[in-house]
Structure 1
Amino acid sequence: MQKKEQVSALQIAFMIMLFEIGSTPLFLLGGKVKQDSWLAMCTGSLGGFILLLLLLWIQHRSPMLDLIGMLKFHFGGVAGSVIGLIYCFYFAYQSMRNVRDLGELTALTLLPRSPLPLTMFIFVMIALYAIWKGAEVVFRLPEVLLPLVLFFYFLIVLLLGIMGSIDFYRLSPVNEGGFMPIVEAALPDIVSFPFGQMIVFLMLWSLWEKPGVPVKNTVTAYIAISIFLIFMNALNVAVLGPTIAGISQLPFLKTVRTLSNLKFVERLDILVTTQLFIGLLIKMMLFYFCAVKGISELSGKPAKWWVFPVGAAIYGTSFLARDYTQHIAIGLGPSLKIDPLFQIGFPLLLSISILLRGWFKRTSS
């Protein structure tokens, strides 16, 4: 009998934090409300927290099952397997988007002369190797990478403070246009990205080495990283101002470039790009891992059977968009519209099924 892979609560917490960071600090989410974008982030994180509590409750009711097992148990073998397969495609699609992001950003920033297919292939192979080794290897990576990423962000914020680049008066007037524009900026876009992507952990909480659900570590990690992302969002506006931050494609990169007057260090934008690579790689790897895990459970075959086919599919489909502009347009358009179905719609149906099953059990007894 194959030994079940297990991870610690601390590893889960670190993975949540690095997964949620991803590439989020580089963008001004909620930029349409200008200096109130940080309030939109607060609103989005609150909405995401409510969703997180729902996901934790669902996991608590079926602590030994992952998302695929829950779908089959509550919706029946056929319907549950179909929905589970759709989720596997969704995870693979999200992984593909991160592969393309990694390749395009490498070409834009670090290696403009390197062939795009080659750099993307290298990233997929790195993820493939870790997933082939199993969950315990995948979850060890954040233990090494998260402290490094947070240290680099701390260093950049410290340098911005020393240089006097941060002016929090640029965040005023607060709530200038009222509360409704802030809500409209946060829902559903900011809830979907990055907070709603916590749906992926319904595939992972069951790997915890202890019985039950690591609620304390999960909630602590979510709150800590939400505060960090809100602060980074406000930082972009405090350095660049709401207008420039709102029109910049990568405002945090522009924020760091304001440190160009420093004489003792150059090309800090490479540091930012490296942080972006780490975040995107972990996010891509985790979606890839969940796609493999889900298909393995649906097929009844070992996960290693599916690592290469799923990796090949992710790599191949990453070229469907003819250029990066189209890739971004799809991501901010149709892709963002279907996210609530997977992040909110199916979990709500699952929770209703759990409640009805409990009610029927009580009435029949």
Structure 2
Amino acid sequence: MVNKEQVSSLQIAFMIMLFEIGSTPLFLLGGTAKQDSWLAMCAGSAAGFALLLVLMWIQHRSPGTDLIGMLKAHFGTAPGAFIGAVYSLYFAYQSMRNVRDLGELTAMTMLPRTPMAITMLVFVLLALYAIWKGAEVVFRLPEVLLPVMLFFYFLLVVMLSIMGAIDLSRLAPVMEGGLMPVLQAALPEIVSFPFGQMIVFLMLWTLWEKPGVPVKYTVNAYLLISAFLIFMNALNVAVLGPAIAGVSQLPFLKTVRVLSNLKFVERLDILVTIQLFLGLLIKMMLFYFCSVKALAELTGKPAKWWVFPMGAVIYGSSFLERDYTQHIAVGLGPSLKLDPLFQVAIPLLLALSIWVRGRLQRSA
């Protein structure tokens, strides 16, 4: 992006937290580890943290340069531009997945009679408007939304505790099958989603008002939100039990519906759905923004040139999967197998290139 938009350290921290939440609490990640799924989340977040350190080191060694500029600088102009274009499509694909999640979630919970095409179009247009207004508007949203979202999650947990719905004995026995089932559940699935998606911040750290990376804010935000996601994963199992949580399409919604036994409050699942809307919207918007930003870097044209075309691509491709079952199957199948290439392999090659070039320059 050619303009001089800047965002603060706190805005980046809030964006990391809201981006990582996304739709993650909706699912039981690491469900194959059963009652140890929360341990699989721990392992996935630890591996994701190691990857985050690599990403921060890459950005530290290339201050003021985003992912596209780094690829062209270290892999050559033409190969780097090609890989950058593929990254732009990858970000658009990830945005499309969140658009479809939003549409399916709306149809299942709030607006079953409204065509998904309408609800998904509304979400894409909301994101389009924010991106058109620029990075400062996009990064201002989490400052407002994150505190509200975390408050309502806290309120739900308190209500579940008052009801006595949380049974920690459902988390036992710990590591019944040993360490391998935990690691197999964590790698690569949980690393790819959500922790490996931090790759987008190689496109965003250059927006920081200072050169480099806001290390303290980034690390603290990552650690805090990892602890939150691990807790939410354990909560689903503690309320539903590993068997029910493992087979439920949307275990967190099922967890909250336990609160329907409270006589003074009803339809809390609507509250949860709204929170998930906010998380998914921010995630979709950020991937969309990075896709547009990558195209602007590659073509030298203003980002506004690409906001509408990329929005049309994201919206149109969200209809490629015929139903929610196929959408989830693709997301947890072929998509997860491709993620390590973009989230791990290419960044590691980039880090290696930066390290080798630095050694050669010092020796010269």
Q: Distance in 2 between matches of 1:245 and 1:334?
A: 24
Partner in structure 1 of residue 53 of structure 2: 53
Partner in structure 2 of residue 191 of structure 1: 191
Counterpart amino acid of residue 243 in structure 2: T
Q: Distance in 2 between matches of 1:33 and 1:362?
A: 47
| Secondary structure of residue in 1 paired with 2:226 | helix
For residue 261 of structure 1, report the CA deviation from its aligned partner: 1.1
1:27 aligns with 2:27: yes
Partner in structure 1 of residue 222 of structure 2: 222
Q: Distance in 1 between matches of 2:271 and 2:119?
A: 19
1:1-365 equivalent positions in 2, closer than 5 A? 3-364=3-364
Q: Distance in 2 between matches of 1:80 and 1:135?
A: 24
Asked if the contact 2:2–2:302 (Cα under 8 Å) also holds between the matched residues in 1, the reply is no
Counterpart amino acid of residue 167 in structure 2: D
Q: Distance in 1 between matches of 2:326 and 2:245?
A: 22
Counterpart amino acid of residue 349 in structure 2: L
| 1:213-247 Cα distance to aligned partner (Å, 9 max, x none) | 10000000000000000000000111111111111
For residue 3 of structure 1, report the CA deviation from its aligned partner: 4.1
> TM-score, with normalisation over the residues of structure 2?
0.99
| CA shift in 2, pair 1:343/1:128, >3 Å | same
| 1:111-135 Cα distance to aligned partner (Å, 9 max, x none) | 0111111111100000000000000
| 1:120-175 Cα distance to aligned partner (Å, 9 max, x none) | 11000000000000000000000000001101100000000011111111111111
Counterpart amino acid of residue 62 in structure 1: S
For residue 2 of structure 1, report the CA deviation from its aligned partner: 6.1
Further displaced range: 68-77 or 134-143: 68-77
For residue 363 of structure 1, report the CA deviation from its aligned partner: 2.1
| Secondary structure of residue in 1 paired with 2:200 | helix
Q: Distance in 2 between matches of 1:2 and 1:27?
A: 38
| 1:193-212 Cα distance to aligned partner (Å, 9 max, x none) | 00000000000011100122
Q: Distance in 1 between matches of 2:330 and 2:81?
A: 28
Counterpart amino acid of residue 341 in structure 1: L
Q: Distance in 2 between matches of 1:338 and 1:212?
A: 29
Between the aligned residues of both structures, percent identity stands at: 77
Q: Distance in 2 between matches of 1:58 and 1:244?
A: 42
For residue 337 of structure 1, report the CA deviation from its aligned partner: 0.4
| Secondary structure of residue in 2 paired with 1:165 | coil
Counterpart amino acid of residue 209 in structure 1: E
Counterpart amino acid of residue 286 in structure 1: L
Aligned length: 364
For residue 328 of structure 1, report the CA deviation from its aligned partner: 1.3
Q: Distance in 1 between matches of 2:263 and 2:96?
A: 40
Q: Distance in 2 between matches of 1:61 and 1:362?
A: 14
| Secondary structure of residue in 2 paired with 1:213 | coil
Q: Distance in 2 between matches of 1:346 and 1:253?
A: 36
| Secondary structure of residue in 1 paired with 2:114 | coil
Asked if the contact 2:63–2:206 (Cα under 8 Å) also holds between the matched residues in 1, the reply is yes
